[in-house]
């Protein structure tokens, strides 16, 4: 194994007896960082011969997929990236057909094609399929068909496609993934091949061809196409073959060496210059990192430099998270997320450069404002939610939202910071020797599902935001004890009525909804929480009023005791008169 994915490709196509070759195919192998972040993509498509623009449809599908897939955000999973691109392509083809038939839903669709595409990322293959083209896996002498033909047979001689690109506005695309082995061969064919050669013939031809000296996938693909033509194929004939030559090796020593190419910087003091940045003063120091205000000597712009702590110089997982924090910060674009700058000069040490933001943490703001206005709280929550949505749009989960990781300036502008615990969906497709613990964040603000080992989702960040909202309004946390790995049966929600009776019940109900222990019972979108904090939700108002005895038994009995004491004193006084 090596540190990168390596493949051998082969392709062959023939028009056959048809007047035009409506098959299309292609392979895209990026040569830069995209090879690691997005992988390799290849696909085959067969324009439906009964449609008027089958060739244009198949070409558009292949070209669009192999181009647009690599333009999707690096943080997206392969599945999300490909399905977004293919969904848009299907809508475009459907729209073209709609235009061609004069804006009427009647008539024949003109842009129809089958599609079978594969993305190889790290050690995993991802397959996307609609129609009756096929993807086979040849492994260890066995041939397996990985896709299902979306074809309905009326009789032996009559059949039609039940699924293809351009038929309907919404298309259900089959998806599956599997782990790769070295020497695996993925064989993609159009029906001009597999309708005239059975699986045994395809397997034997490839095994025989690849076993010969100097044989390669190009030769095997051409022989398969020739064999289909010799078998009297009546359609276009296309074969695309990809052999796995080498796979990325999740070797810990090599991985660690890659992470530590840049050394940790020494302790910095005012006046020190590092790569053109003059240190002005230290503004934060902890066992995990240090932050300094610095001056860019080229632009005279004030920035913040964050350096890793030497306590973790041998901790590969810490270094990976530190680098990932920079990677994330450069991709999340929002006025409510701290901006991490690109490096314009070569670095001699490992550090991050962020925008300078004259501010205080939300924790300090809460200490200064123990009884804030509802309007201020709503504004802060709204801005935090906008920052979180910027993460969520890129399939990222913050996972460590707390007052210490939120900053606010004197004008009330709020920004989220600290991306070291952010979960990136695209990382699921990578093979790595480092296993991160999913129990992240701070116990007081962490969603309960993390305790069960779940990786969390957007509703987990919603839970953390609800805790912060509760704390801003009441000055304390919403539960009587922090989250624990050893059982939470005695963990109890503390009603607003026990703390702050001035907050409307419908606001508490909204916060309590977002604090549900079951993520499926929280709001579907974080914007719903923001809306319900500013608008009365009638469903909360219509709930049956609970007497004080049910809402706050302790307070009820205290009042009863005081009343009894007062009555006893009054009775005793009257007796003594």
DSSP characters over 136-166: EEEETTEEEE-S---EEESSSS-EEES--BT
Report DSSP state, residue 495: P
* pLDDT at 484 (0 to 100): 73
From 10-19, 96-105, 293-302, the region with the lowest mean pLDDT: 96-105
Cβ–Cβ < 8 Å for 190, 238: yes
Specify the DSSP class assigned to residue 172: -
Higher pLDDT pick, 220 / 330: 220
Q: Which residues pair with residue 282 across a beta bridge? A: 292
Over residues 90-112, the mean pLDDT reads: 73
Long-range contact list for 267-270, CB < 8 A, 24+ apart? Answer: 268/292, 268/305, 268/307
Residue 103: pLDDT band (50, 70, 90) is very low
Say if residues 221 and 185 touch (Cβ distance below 8 Å). no
> Is 192 a residue whose pLDDT tops 70?
yes
Nearest by Cα to 336 from 412, 272, 265: 412
Closest CA to 366 of 404, 401, 338, 415: 404
Distance CA 337, CA 324 (A): 15
Q: Which of 174, 150, 183 is nearest to 164 (CA)?
A: 150
> For residue 1, is pLDDT > 60?
no
pLDDT of res. 548: 64
At 342, is the pLDDT very low, low, confident or very high (cuts 50, 70, 90)?
confident
Between 199-210 and 217-230, two packed helices, what is the crossing angle to 10 degrees?
A: 140
Distance (Å, whole) CA 497 – CA 378: 20
Rounded to the nearest integer, the mean pLDDT of the chain is 88
With a cut of 60, say whether residue 434 has pLDDT above it.
Answer: no
Instruction: Transcribe 338-404 into DSSP letters.
Output: PPBPPP-S--SS--EEEE----EEHHHHHHH-SS--HHHHHHHHHHHHHHHHHHHHTTEE-----GG
- Provide the percentage of residues in the chain whose pLDDT is more than 70: 90
Closest CA to 217 of 27, 40, 12, 29: 12
pLDDT for 35 equals 87
Distances (CA, A) of 245 to 2, 6, 126, 527: 10, 5, 17, 48
**DSSP states along 535-573:** S--HHHHTSPPPPHHHH-HHHHHHHHHHHHHHHHHHHHH
Predicted local distance difference test score (pLDDT) of residue 106: 47
**pLDDT tops 90 at residue 36:** no
Phi, psi angle pair for 460, to nearest 5°: -70, -40
Q: What are phi and psi of 138, to 5 degrees?
A: -105, 115
Tell the CATH topology of 255-355.
Phosphorylase Kinase; domain 1 (3.30.200)
As a whole number of angstroms, the distance between CA 11 and CA 295 comes to 56
Dihedrals phi, psi of 514, to nearest 5 degrees = -75, -15
Give residue 127's pLDDT: 98
Per-residue pLDDT, averaged over 39-59, amounts to 92
CA distances from 384 to 115, 153, 377, 411, 413 (A): 42, 55, 11, 15, 10
Q: What is the mean pLDDT of residues 137-158?
A: 91
Each residue's pLDDT tens digit, 499-543 = 866 889 999 999 999 999 999 999 999 999 999 999 998 888 765
Give the CATH architecture of domain 360-543.
Orthogonal Bundle (1.10)
The dihedral over CA atoms of 281, 285, 291, 292, expressed in degrees to the nearest 10, equals 10
Statement: residue 25 has pLDDT above 50? yes
Distance CA 149, CA 163 (A): 9
What secondary structure letter does DSSP report for 211? T
DSSP category for residue 107: S
Across the range 384-397, mean pLDDT stands at: 95
Q: Within the chain, what is the greatest distance between any pair of CA atoms? A: 124
Which has more confidence, 65 or 557?
A: 65
0.75 exceeded by pTM: no
* pLDDT at residue 237 tops 80: yes
List, as one string, the DSSP characters of 464-479: HHHHHHHHHHHSS-SB
- Give the pLDDT confidence score for residue 487 in this predicted structure: 65
Q: Is the pLDDT of residue 131 over 90?
A: yes
Range scoring the smallest mean pLDDT among 435-449, 526-540, 559-573: 435-449
Q: At residue 3, does pLDDT exceed 70?
A: no
Give the up-direction half-sphere exposure of residue 574: CA atoms within 13 A in the CB hemisphere.
6
Helical (H) or strand (E) element with 174: strand 174-179
Which strand (E) or helix (H) includes residue 96? helix 78-100
Which pLDDT band holds residue 199 (cuts at 50, 70, 90)? very high
Distance in Å from the first CA to the final CA of the chain: 101
* Neighbouring residues of 94: CB distance < 8 A, sequence distance ≥ 6: 109, 111, 166, 167, 168, 169
Q: Please state the length of the chain.
A: 577
Nearest to 143 by CA among 196, 191, 197, 215: 197
Boundaries of every domain in the chain:
6-249, 255-355, 360-543, 547-577
pLDDT at position 92 over 50: yes
Enumerate residues 6+ apart whose C-beta is below 8 A from 227: 197, 201, 205
Superfamily of domain 6-249: PPM-type phosphatase domain (3.60.40.10)
The reported pLDDT for the residue numbered 101 is 60
- Could you tell me if 228 and 196 are in contact, meaning their C-beta atoms sit under 8 angstroms apart? yes
Rounded to an integer, the average pLDDT of 252-275 is 78
Q: Once rounded to an integer, what is the mean pLDDT over residues 430-455?
A: 72
Residue 119 token pair: 């993305």
Tell me the sheet residues that pair with 422: none
């Amino acid at each position: 194994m090596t540190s990168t994915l390596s493949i051998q490709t082969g392709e062959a196509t023939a028009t056959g007896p048809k007047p035009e070759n409506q098959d299309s195919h292609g392979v895209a192998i990026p040569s830069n960082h995209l090879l690691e972040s997005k992988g390799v993509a290849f696909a085959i498509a067969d324009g439906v011969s009964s449609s008027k623009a089958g060739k244009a449809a198949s070409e558009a599908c292949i070209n669009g997929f192999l181009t647009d897939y690599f333009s999707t955000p690096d943080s997206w999973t392969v599945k999300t990236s490909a399905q977004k691109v293919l969904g848009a392509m299907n809508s475009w083809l459907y729209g073209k057909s709609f235009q061609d038939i004069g804006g009427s839903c009647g008539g024949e669709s003109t842009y129809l094609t089958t599609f079978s595409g594969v993305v190889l990322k790290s050690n995993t293959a991802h397959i996307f399929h609609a129609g009756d083209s096929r993807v086979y896996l040849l492994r260890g002498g066995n041939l397996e068909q990985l896709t299902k033909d979306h074809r309905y047979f009326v009789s032996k001689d009559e059949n039609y496609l039940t699924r293809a690109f351009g038929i309907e506005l919404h298309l259900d695309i089959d998806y599956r993934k599997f782990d790769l082995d070295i020497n695996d061969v993925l064989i993609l064919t159009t029906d001009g091949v597999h309708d005239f050669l059975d699986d045994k013939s395809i397997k034997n031809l490839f095994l025989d061809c690849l076993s010969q000296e100097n044989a390669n996938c190009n030769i095997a693909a051409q022989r398969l196409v020739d064999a289909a033509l010799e078998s009297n194929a009546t359609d276009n004939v296309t074969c695309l073959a990809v052999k796995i030559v080498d796979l990325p090796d999740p070797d810990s020593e090599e991985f660690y060496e890659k992470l530590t190419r840049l050394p940790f910087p020494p302790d910095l003091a005012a006046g020190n210059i590092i790569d053109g940045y003059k240190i002005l003063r230290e503004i934060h120091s902890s066992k995990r990192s240090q932050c300094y205000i610095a001056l860019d000597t080229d632009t005279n712009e004030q920035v913040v430099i964050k350096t890793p702590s030497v306590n973790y110089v041998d901790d590969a997982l810490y270094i990976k998270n530190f680098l990932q924090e920079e990677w994330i910060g450069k991709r999340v674009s929002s006025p409510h997320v701290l901006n991490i700058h690109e490096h314009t000069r070569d670095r001699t040490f490992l550090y991050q450069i962020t925008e300078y933001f004259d501010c205080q943490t939300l924790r300090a703001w809460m200490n200064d404002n123990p009884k804030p206005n509802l309007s201020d709280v709503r504004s802060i929550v709204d801005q935090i939610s906008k920052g979180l949505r910027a993460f969520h749009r890129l399939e990222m989960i913050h996972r460590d939202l707390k007052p210490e990781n939120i900053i606010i300036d004197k004008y009330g502008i709020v920004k989220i910071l600290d991306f070291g615990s952010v979960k990136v969906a695209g990382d699921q497709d990578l093979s790595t020797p480092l296993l991160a613990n999913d129990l992240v964040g701070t116990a007081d603000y962490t969603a309960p599902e993390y305790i069960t080992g779940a990786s969390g989702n957007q509703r987990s960040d919603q839970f953390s935001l609800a805790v912060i909202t509760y704390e801003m309004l009441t000055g304390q946390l919403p539960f009587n004890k922090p989250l624990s790995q050893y059982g939470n049966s005695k963990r109890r929600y503390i009603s607003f009525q026990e703390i702050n009776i001035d907050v409307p019940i419908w606001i508490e109900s909204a916060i309590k909804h977002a604090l549900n222990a079951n993520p499926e019972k929280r709001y579907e979108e974080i914007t719903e929480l923001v809306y319900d904090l500013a608008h009365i939700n009638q469903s909360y108002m219509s709930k049956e009023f609970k007497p004080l005895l049910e809402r706050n038994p302790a307070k009820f009995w205290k009042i009863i005791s005081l009343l009894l004491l007062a009555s006893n004193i009054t009775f005793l006084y009257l007796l003594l008169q």
